């Protein structure tokens, strides 16, 4: 899971090096309608890049109206592309520019739909790729009836950045299905940024975001501890991808995290926790609560969170050793109440996770369900009407 803030002039000066200690990308406002954001500049773009963050510029859309001299979507596309490039945005390398489409600007829905299509077509013709679209369910559902079949197919080519706060996961929006990015709160906190800020995360595999930027590698994580090799590792044949902090005795545990030996090793589990992991493929970061504070799994729930993480490693292995995105994991009591969770939810114990429909569909629902049923023989497994799935490591069998 990648995470990152989206910022505008309202956040003022930002220490991007500190942001990068916790996040992988940054969405930066270019303009609001035809008003350039006063903090959007080459200095801000260079700061994001120097910190190693994936950079995504966005424009707050203003539908053609008397207030902007009826500037249509085509004109807005040309304008914002010019502003974005002047400060150094370049694709590939950076994310495609995103169109923040969340207000009708006092105009009827059919005019809003026409404005959006003008923007997308002009952008596509100019840049030879598609922009992203940011929107909210309530606003989008008013526009959707005014987008016929061909237009919906065009919009579907644009990746979705969906805002939906105070829930445990974003709902599905047509014509996309599921978003690539989800803005889960407007009251988040981040190192390097003063005050509350909108926070975002990937719901699709990380590779999807990198593919949009045509990047082969994930951004470097500035917060990674750079430690010299251990003495007992100096002459070891360390496989590629095994961190230096993994001792030579634990290399096999890292390489084969689905094994019983990996899950049983207390020393390995302790080293993982200390370095931000629950297991090799699942981090403490992606287990955090989705509340505005992004609350970490507490130390007291470490054992249950890691027990579940190693079960997820077994599930991941059965499904082909491909990325296994998590929709939600740990919840505080307050957040569980906020999202309508049951009073005895396993999320409260940090040993339950939910998976999106998209994750299930990648491998096929039958295969996913069989694998979950086998891995969580002594745990919980449930199917929801939405198509999403739940699995937990409660220690007793439960099915629904």
CATH number of residue 195's parent domain: 3.20.20.80
Q: Are 76 and 60 in contact (CB under 8 A)?
A: no
Q: Which residue has the tokens 């260079």?
A: 46
Are 20 and 135 in the same domain? yes
pLDDT at residue 232, as a whole number: 44
- State how far the Cα of 293 lies from the Cα of 306, in Å rounded to an integer: 22
Residue 235 belongs to some domain of the structure: no
**Domain termination site, one of 212, 233, 261:** 212
pLDDT classification of 204: cutoffs 50, 70, 90: confident
Residues 318-362 have pLDDT tens digits of 999 999 999 999 999 999 999 999 999 999 999 999 999 989 998
Are 207 and 252 in the same domain? no
Number of domains in the chain: 2
CATH number reported for the structural domain that contains residue 344 in this entry? 3.30.1380.10
pLDDT at residue 220, as a whole number: 55
- In this structure, what token pair is assigned to residue 361? 């569909």
Residues 46-103 have pLDDT tens digits of 999 999 999 999 999 999 999 888 999 999 999 999 999 999 999 999 999 999 999 9
Considering the entire predicted model, what is its pTM?
0.80
Are 187 and 255 in the same domain? no
pLDDT at residue 241, as a whole number: 87
The more confidently predicted of residues 385 and 232 is 385
Helix (H, G, I), strand (E, B) or coil at 312: helix
* Residue 107 pLDDT > 50: yes
Are 187 and 43 in the same domain? yes
pLDDT at residue 219, as a whole number: 59
**Domain termination site, one of 212, 239, 265:** 212
* Residue 368 pLDDT > 60: yes
* Residue 140 pLDDT > 70: yes
pLDDT at residue 225, as a whole number: 39
Q: Find, among 61, 57, 50, the residue nearest to 95 by Cα.
A: 57
* Residue 202 pLDDT > 50: yes
Residue 228 belongs to some domain of the structure: no
**Ranges assigned E (strand) in the chain:** 3-7, 25-32, 35-36, 54-60, 98-100, 132-135, 160-163, 181-188, 197-202, 277-279, 282-283, 352-355, 380-383, 389-392, 398-399
Residues 217-274 have pLDDT tens digits of 665 544 443 444 444 444 457 888 899 999 999 999 999 999 999 999 999 999 999 9
The H-or-E segment that residue 309 falls in is: helix 302-318
The more confidently predicted of residues 13 and 236 is 13
Residue 218 belongs to some domain of the structure: no
Are 165 and 257 in the same domain? no
Residue 242 belongs to some domain of the structure: no
- In this structure, what token pair is assigned to residue 143? 């526009």
For the packed helices 73-86 and 109-127, what is the interaxial angle rounded to 10 degrees?
A: 50
Contacts of 218-222 with C-beta under 8 Å, sequence gap 24+, read 218/2, 218/24, 219/20, 219/24, 219/25, 219/52, 219/53, 219/54, 220/52, 221/20, 221/21, 221/24, 221/52, 222/17, 222/20, 222/21, 222/51, 222/52
Could you tell me the sign of the dihedral formed by the alpha carbons of 99, 104, 107, 109, in that order?
Answer: positive
Residue 97 belongs to some domain of the structure: yes
The more confidently predicted of residues 125 and 221 is 125
For 197-222, what is the mean pLDDT?
83
**Domain termination site, one of 212, 228, 260:** 212
Residue 350 belongs to some domain of the structure: yes
- State how far the Cα of 151 lies from the Cα of 306, in Å rounded to an integer: 46
pLDDT at residue 164, as a whole number: 95
Are 96 and 19 in the same domain? yes
Residue 227 belongs to some domain of the structure: no
pLDDT at residue 238, as a whole number: 82
Residues 76-87 have pLDDT tens digits of 999 999 999 999
- Which residues on adjacent β-strands are paired with residue 305? none
Are 98 and 198 in the same domain? yes
Are 204 and 269 in the same domain? no
Domain that holds residue 101: 3-212
pLDDT classification of 386: cutoffs 50, 70, 90: confident
pLDDT at residue 218, as a whole number: 60
Environment class of 275 (CB within 10 Å of its CB; exposed 0-12, middle 13-18, buried 19+) = middle
* Mean per-residue pLDDT over the chain, rounded: 92
Which whole-number Å values give the CA distances from 267 to 171, 253, 262, in the listed order? 40, 11, 10
Are 8 and 98 in the same domain? yes
């Amino acid at each position: 899971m990648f995470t990152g803030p989206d910022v505008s002039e309202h956040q003022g000066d930002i220490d991007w090096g500190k942001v990068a200690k916790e996040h992988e990308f940054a969405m930066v406002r270019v303009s609001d309608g035809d008003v350039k954001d006063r903090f959007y500049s080459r200095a801000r773009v260079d700061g994001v890049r120097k910190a190693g963050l994936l950079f995504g510029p966005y424009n707050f859309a203003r539908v053609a109206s008397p207030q902007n001299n009826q500037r249509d979507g085509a004109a807005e596309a040309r304008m914002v592309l010019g502003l974005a490039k002047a400060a150094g945005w370049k694709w590939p390398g950076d994310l495609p520019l995103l169109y923040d489409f969340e207000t009708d600007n006092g105009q009827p829905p059919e005019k809003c739909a026409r404005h959006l299509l003008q923007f997308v077509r002009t952008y596509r013709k100019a840049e030879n790729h598609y922009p992203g679209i940011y929107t909210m369910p309530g606003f989008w559902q008013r526009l959707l009836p005014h987008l016929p079949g061909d237009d919906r197919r065009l919009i579907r080519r644009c990746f979705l950045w969906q805002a939906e706060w105070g829930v445990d996961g974003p709902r599905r929006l047509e014509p996309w299905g599921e978003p690539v990015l989800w803005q889960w709160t407007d009251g988040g906190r981040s190192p390097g940024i003063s005050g509350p800020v909108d926070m975002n995360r990937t719901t699709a595999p990380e590779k999807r975001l990198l593919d949009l930027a045509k990047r082969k590698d994930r951004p470097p994580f500035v917060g990674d501890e750079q430690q010299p090799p251990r003495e007992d590792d100096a002459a070891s044949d360390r496989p590629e991808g095994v961190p230096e902090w993994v001792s030579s005795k634990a290399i096999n545990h890292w390489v084969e995290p689905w094994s019983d030996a990996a899950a049983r090793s207390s020393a390995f589990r302790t080293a993982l926790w200390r370095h931000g992991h629950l297991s090799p493929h699942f981090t403490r970061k992606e287990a955090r609560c989705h509340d505005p504070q992004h609350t970490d799994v507490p130390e007291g729930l470490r054992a249950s969170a890691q027990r579940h993480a190693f079960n997820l490693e077994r599930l991941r292995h059965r499904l082909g050793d491909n990325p296994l995105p998590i929709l939600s994991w740990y919840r505080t009591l307050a957040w569980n109440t906020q999202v309508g969770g049951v009073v005895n939810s396993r999320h409260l114990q940090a040993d339950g996770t939910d998976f999106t429909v998209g994750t299930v569909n990648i491998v096929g629902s039958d295969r996913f369900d069989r694998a979950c049923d086998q891995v969580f023989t002594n745990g919980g497994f449930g199917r929801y009407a939405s198509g999403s799935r739940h699995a937990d490591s409660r220690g007793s069998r439960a099915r629904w």
